[in-house]
Amino acid sequence: MLSQKRLAIGLLRLEIENVRKRGLGAVRSSVLCLARGREASVEPCSDCPLLEFVAPELRNQTLPCLHIPLNDAGFTLASASRPSDPKVCEQLVLTWMERATERLERELAEEQQGRL
């Protein structure tokens, strides 16, 4: 579990930098995606380090990461009601990634404290 959290933290940090530099691209172009640049069936999303952020009933979707709630209103990249402005979506994703990184870092520190 610790190594999965470390992996997710590292990938989130890389993706935050990528989005800040290049903008929000396609999901499969993200460093977070294990199937980056490949056909959808090559790498199962069930191994994705972000799967814990997806509701259990949506984890079997083709791209479950599109169903991660990005804010308290429940907006996801798959939402029909998501903001249509790409910059607003980009900011939602960046804010979520920063919060997710902070959460995982706290959880990791707590788990490491418990093992000492």
pLDDT of residue 87: 86
Smallest CA-to-CA distance from 66 within 39, 98, 28 is with: 28
What global pTM score does this model have? 0.83
Query: In this structure, are residues 37 and 73 in contact, taking their beta carbons and an 8 Å threshold?
Result: no
Give the model confidence (pLDDT) of 22-48 as tens digits: 888 777 677 777 666 665 555 567 788
Give the model confidence (pLDDT) of 67-95 as tens digits: 999 999 888 888 876 667 888 888 999 99
Smallest CA-to-CA distance from 25 within 75, 76, 86 is with: 86
Is residue 63 classed exposed, middle or buried when 0-12, 13-18 and 19+ CB atoms within 10 A define those classes? middle
Amino acid making up residue 31: V
Distance separating alpha carbons of residues 29 and 52, to the nearest angstrom: 20
Distance separating alpha carbons of residues 35 and 76, to the nearest angstrom: 20
Domains of the chain, by residue range, sit at 2-115
Question: What DSSP character marks residue 61?
Answer: S
